[in-house]
Chains A and B, each alone.
Chain A
Amino acid sequence: MDNVKKWRIPVFITFLLLGFLLSVQFRTQQIFLSDLSLQKTDDLVLMLKKLHDKRAELTKELSELEKQQHTFNADANAGETLIKGLRQDYQRQQIALGLLPVQGPGITITINTDSSVVYLDLVDIINELWASQAEAIAVNDQRVTPWTYIFWSKQNLSLMMNGVEITFPCTIKAIGNPDQLESGLRLLGGVLDHLAVYKVYPVIKRHQNLELPAASPPEIRYLKGENND
């Protein structure tokens, strides 16, 4: 037992030293491997070549992305112009159809009495206003649309527009050139002359700014267009 004990201490010290040396050796090796300048020239040249290739590829990629973005920007501008144009066109169609509230200069025609006014007189007045370049018309704040119909009710002999009774005094509003609209109505042998025969004298007033409400969209059941069948 004594013998064993005696050699244990030097062996322990020796192994400690060995371990220390090994770790130093390993670290040296690590530095040696990670330091580029310690690599073989051939490897470095190859590496440089590869990096060069990679850089060329990336440059190409970047220029492609830039080109793409450029096209996108151009497309976006074209798209914006297109959308703007479409919106304007859409608004124009809405005004034409009476589906958008509008304002502008024009005239009002007020008929204070319902005596002797028949539904055809209203049809005549509206037709005359369109002929005088009216851009929007409303009767008692009901906007005139392509589906507007004017008739009469057999029950109480009242005038009806789109199935709604026209009450008196009745005001017709028209947006357009006030002079042109008024002179259209006052044409010799025109609408007003015709009404005067029946002792109906509408009051015409010019306005700087009239507001006309929108009509609700029509219910279409039979009509088929090119693209919506």
Chain B
Amino acid sequence: MKLQKWHIPITIVLFISGVLLATALRALAANNATPWHQKNENLVAMIKTQEAEIKKLENSIESKRTSLDRFQRDVSLGKKELEKLQQQLQKLKTLSGMTEVEGPGLTITLDDNIKEYEAAQNKNPGLKPDDYLIHDKHILYIVNELRVGGAEAISVNDQRIVNSSDIRCVGPLILVNTTRLGPPYVIKAIGNPDDLARVLSLPESEYNILKMAGYPVKYEKSTRLVIPPFKGSYQFTYARPKEE
């Protein structure tokens, strides 16, 4: 038989095939019989346990992060609300007299008419001083007049006049916010000084009546007055917000 041309390539190909087949079989055989195969099984089990644990951890971390995220957003919203509320409250407190305030306005000084009383007493020794003293009503009406003039804050001898302030007398004593006051009485009002002065100069104003009666009274406009805060508290036992 003559060596054909195609015999050579087929021989090479079959040879390579044989080598490959042998390698594959050896590899397969080796896999099942290597001595370190057994030893590694423990390690693999440990690795698998670790991997499972890690997976669990990763899951809980993820859910925790999501909830924290939501939380942080809520908290920052709450903070904004808190800030707004604090601002609004501060504004109300300024209005309700809980803080020291300042602004332009005028200061009135009232005093008992001691000079005229002494003069009158000389003529009439039994004369009572009542008509020569500053009374609670004088102060009460002047405070109302200052409000007519647009006063935004008022104090009498550094007692802040708030909505519920009462001005009254007990014997010869004048009480404002239930605090005893004595002459001279210094009334401060923050507002437009000209508007405030205009009301005081009306003929029917209490201030004007005192002035006409000869009491030592005066007022002074100023560009900056400081009025101290109300020292009392607002507690409500009977009044409650109207139910809708």
Binding site for B on A (CB under 8 A): 3, 6-7, 10-11, 14-15, 17-18, 21-22, 24-25, 28-29, 32, 36-41, 44-45, 47-48, 51-52, 54-55, 58-59, 61-62, 65-66, 68-69, 72, 75-76, 79, 82-83, 86-87, 89-106, 120, 123-124, 127-128, 130-131, 134-136, 144-151, 175-177, 211-212, 217-218, 220-228
Q: How far is the CB of B193 from chain A (nearest CB, A)?
A: 9
Cβ–Cβ contact A55 & B53, under 8 A: yes
Select from chain A the residue with minimum beta-carbon distance to B20.
Answer: A21
B242 within 8 A of A: yes
C-beta contact mask, B86-97 vs A, less than 8 Å → 1, else 0?
101111111111
B147 within 8 A of A: yes
B179 within 8 A of A: no
Q: B64: which of A22, A69, A225 is its contact (CB, 8 Å)?
A: A69
Chain B contributes a number of interface residues (CB within 8 A of A) equal to 94
Cβ–Cβ contact A41 & B54, under 8 A: no
Question: 22 A-B Cβ contacts within 8 A?
Answer: A3-B6, A7-B5, A21-B20, A25-B23, A28-B28, A48-B47, A48-B50, A68-B68, A76-B71, A79-B75, A93-B89, A94-B92, A96-B96, A104-B239, A135-B237, A218-B152, A222-B192, A223-B95, A223-B101, A225-B100, A227-B94, A228-B91
C-beta contact mask, B172-192 vs A, less than 8 Å → 1, else 0?
000000000000000000111
Cβ–Cβ contact B152 & A220, under 8 A: yes
Select from chain A the residue with minimum beta-carbon distance to B102.
Answer: A224
Residue of A65, A76, A223 with most partner-chain B CB within 10 A: A223
Cβ–Cβ contact B27 & A11, under 8 A: no
Residues of A within 8 A of B168 (CB): 127-128, 131
Q: B residues 39-69 with Cβ under 8 Å of A?
A: 39-41, 43-44, 46-47, 50-51, 53-54, 57-58, 60-61, 64-65, 67-68
Select from chain B the residue with minimum beta-carbon distance to A72.
Answer: B71
Q: Name the prevailing secondary structure of the B interface residues.
A: helix
Interface locus among B8-16, B107-115, B120-128, B213-221 = B8-16
Q: How far is the CB of B119 from chain A (nearest CB, A)?
A: 29
**With the chains together, A150 CA to B39 CA distance in Å?**
102
Binding site for A on B (CB under 8 A): 4-6, 9-10, 13-14, 16-17, 20-21, 23-24, 27-28, 31, 36-37, 39-41, 43-44, 46-47, 50-51, 53-54, 57-58, 60-61, 64-65, 67-68, 71-72, 74-75, 78-79, 81-82, 85-86, 88-105, 137, 140-141, 144, 147-148, 152-153, 161-168, 190-192, 234-243
**With the chains together, A53 CA to B238 CA distance in Å?**
67
Q: B24: which of A25, A38, A66, A69 is its contact (CB, 8 Å)?
A: A25
Cβ–Cβ contact A103 & B16, under 8 A: no
Select from chain A the residue with minimum beta-carbon distance to B63.
Answer: A65
Residues of A within 8 A of B96 (CB): 93, 96-97, 146
Cβ–Cβ contact A130 & B166, under 8 A: yes
Cβ–Cβ contact A76 & B75, under 8 A: yes
Select from chain B the residue with minimum beta-carbon distance to A45.
Answer: B43
Cβ–Cβ contact A144 & B163, under 8 A: yes
Cβ–Cβ contact A101 & B242, under 8 A: yes
Q: How far is the CB of B12 from chain A (nearest CB, A)?
A: 9
Q: Given A55-B53, A127-B167, A149-B144, decide whether A96 and B94 contact each other with a Cβ distance below 8 A.
A: no
Q: Given A97-B96, A223-B190, decide whether A150 and B10 contact each other with a Cβ distance below 8 A.
A: no
Cβ–Cβ contact B24 & A28, under 8 A: yes
Select from chain A the residue with minimum beta-carbon distance to B104.
Answer: A222
Cβ–Cβ contact A130 & B165, under 8 A: yes
Residues of A within 8 A of B144 (CB): 120, 123, 149-151
**With the chains together, A92 CA to B28 CA distance in Å?**
87
Cβ–Cβ contact A225 & B90, under 8 A: yes
Select from chain B the residue with minimum beta-carbon distance to A20.
Answer: B17
Cβ–Cβ contact A86 & B75, under 8 A: no
Cβ–Cβ contact A223 & B152, under 8 A: yes
**With the chains together, A192 CA to B23 CA distance in Å?**
123
Select from chain B the residue with minimum beta-carbon distance to A181.
Answer: B238
Q: How far is the CB of A94 from chain B (nearest CB, A)?
A: 7
Residues of B within 8 A of A92 (CB): 234-236
